[in-house]
């Protein structure tokens, strides 16, 4: 992978809960680096590890917050914090059309998972593509956008695509926290994790009451959030429209600490629908749960459904993922963990960037241990396929229905300098049994609903084979 000098690039991480809107990109810390050289190296990198957002053309991402520049160094900063801040200059308000095309080219050159398209890709071929595209002056911004579209379409990957400024803006205003912030887990001085505000919507509720990028979130409604995941804390922040949540934030490493009351704004609707049902003979009750998409409310509302169904006497569960095209991958991962034993693999991720190459495992004992039947069809895709394979490969569920869609790729979304953007495939998902989901799909165990005894026998044999 070609490296970009750290003095030229300000690296931005794309997590499952955010798409970053870049406002400051450069750090001119070495005298040999010129502004024009840095502009040519303009690059937004998405580090989509375990929290990567998988995008389908039909499902928008679930949060994009505008990234504010870090505060300037001051005497109030702790000494150990001073190295976190570097002198940065705002890039020129405009770039040439050729520089915009090169910016998009650079993103693909750095991060694209080359073998996912239906055409050959290599750094050498991609270099030739840039030289060809920039042979002539590009007279208008509209023409530059068209050049980028053609350049990306040449990759043969339907998920790597261009976003107009209007399309990017729509993606960038969908908030999962309900108060207009994005949280990121960062290590503290003692080996634990803390949560910092790494993105904030400029006219959102949190910003309007004084929350700023770089603040550390300490508590939500009196609940200490130290050591909790960004995903779980985002769930704590959510609530009905126009209700209030009280958060405690620390402004910078040295304080001050402030308790702030924030009014929530609308978030996603529940994707979970459930009922208690009985077998034809009326002797056995089972819980039926449908998840229409994996959004910010999926895990919370799914847990509520499972609790109520278990308390009502459900002997086993039917999880309906038919026509679920995915959504927020981390929500799918969190749902899958509810069924798995501690240490069980949920999914593997693979990509060119070492930070993409991870194995994601369950950290706690399962929330539910009863047998599970997962319903799938040819529109079960992405995060839904992750859930289905995690349960199946760990002998927690049988799959019933049709072969799934086969969308197992990781995309990152990058903003270009004029407010447009590109979506780039940067990695892929591999099942616990080391199967590549993408382009293959998952073949179910049964086409029709089996008897409960058949399900339990199947899962018992599966467990024996694993051991």
Active site residues: 382, 407
Rounded to the nearest 5 percent, the helix, strand and coil shares of the chain are: 25, 25, 50
Q: Token digits for 231?
A: 């995903």
The answer to whether residues 79 and 447 touch, using CB atoms and an 8 Å cutoff, is no
User: Rounded to the nearest 5°, which phi and psi values hold at 56?
Assistant: -110, 155
Give me the sign of the Cα torsion angle 406, 410, 415, 416: negative
Q: Is 16 exposed, middle or buried (0-12, 13-18, 19+ CB in 10 A)?
A: buried
Q: Coil, strand or helix: which one is 398? A: strand
Give me the sign of the Cα torsion angle 429, 431, 436, 437: negative
The answer to whether residues 221 and 199 touch, using CB atoms and an 8 Å cutoff, is no
Total Cβ atoms within 10 A of residue 248:
18
The answer to whether residues 109 and 126 touch, using CB atoms and an 8 Å cutoff, is yes
Total Cβ atoms within 10 A of residue 329:
27
């Amino acid at each position: 992978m070609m490296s970009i000098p750290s003095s030229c690039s300000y690296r931005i991480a794309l997590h499952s809960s955010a798409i970053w809107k870049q406002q400051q990109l450069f750090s001119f810390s070495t005298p040999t680096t010129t502004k024009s050289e840095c502009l040519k190296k303009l690059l937004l990198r998405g580090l989509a590890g375990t929290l990567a957002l998988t995008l389908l053309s039909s499902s928008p991402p679930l949060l994009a917050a505008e990234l504010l520049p870090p505060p300037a160094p001051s005497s109030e900063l702790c000494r150990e914090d001073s190295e976190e801040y570097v002198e940065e200059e705002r890039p020129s308000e405009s770039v040439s059309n050729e520089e915009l095309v090169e910016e998009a080219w650079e993103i693909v050159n750095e991060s694209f998972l080359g073998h996912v398209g239906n055409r050959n890709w290599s750094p050498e071929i991609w270099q030739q593509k840039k030289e060809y595209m920039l042979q002539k002056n590009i007279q208008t911004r509209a023409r530059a956008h068209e050049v980028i579209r053609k350049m990306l379409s040449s990759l043969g990957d339907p998920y790597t695509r261009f976003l107009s400024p209007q399309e990017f803006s729509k993606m960038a205003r969908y908030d999962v926290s309900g108060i207009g912030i994005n949280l990121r887990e960062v290590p503290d001085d003692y080996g634990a994790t803390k949560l910092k505000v790494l993105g904030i919507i400029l006219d959102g509720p949190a910003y309007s009451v004084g929350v700023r990028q770089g603040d550390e979130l300490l508590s939500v409604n009196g609940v200490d959030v130290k050591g909790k995941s960004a995903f779980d804390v985002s769930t704590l922040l959510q609530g009905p429209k126009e209700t209030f949540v009280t958060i405690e934030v620390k402004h910078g490493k040295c304080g001050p600490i402030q308790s702030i009351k924030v009014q929530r704004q609308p978030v996603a609707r529940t994707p979970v629908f459930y009922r208690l049902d009985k077998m034809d003979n009326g002797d056995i009750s089972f819980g039926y749960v449908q998840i229409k998409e994996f959004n910010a409310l999926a895990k919370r509302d799914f847990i509520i459904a499972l609790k109520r169904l278990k308390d009502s006497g459900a002997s086993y569960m039917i999880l309906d993922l038919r026509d679920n095209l995915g959504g927020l991958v981390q929500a799918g991962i969190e749902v899958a963990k509810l069924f798995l034993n501690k240490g069980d693999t949920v999914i593997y991720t693979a990509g060119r960037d070492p930070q993409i190459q991870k194995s994601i495992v369950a950290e706690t004992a399962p929330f539910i241990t009863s047998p599970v039947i997962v319903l799938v069809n040819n529109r079960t895709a992405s995060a839904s396929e992750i859930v289905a394979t995690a349960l199946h490969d760990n002998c927690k569920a049988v799959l019933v229905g049709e072969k799934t869609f086969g969308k197992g790729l990781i995309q990152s979304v990058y903003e270009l300098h004029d407010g447009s953007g590109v979506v780039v495939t940067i990695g892929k998902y591999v099942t616990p049994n080391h199967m590549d989901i993408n382009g293959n799909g998952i073949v179910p165990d049964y086409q029709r609903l089996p008897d409960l005894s058949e399900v339990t026998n199947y899962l018992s044999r599966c467990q024996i084979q694993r051991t």
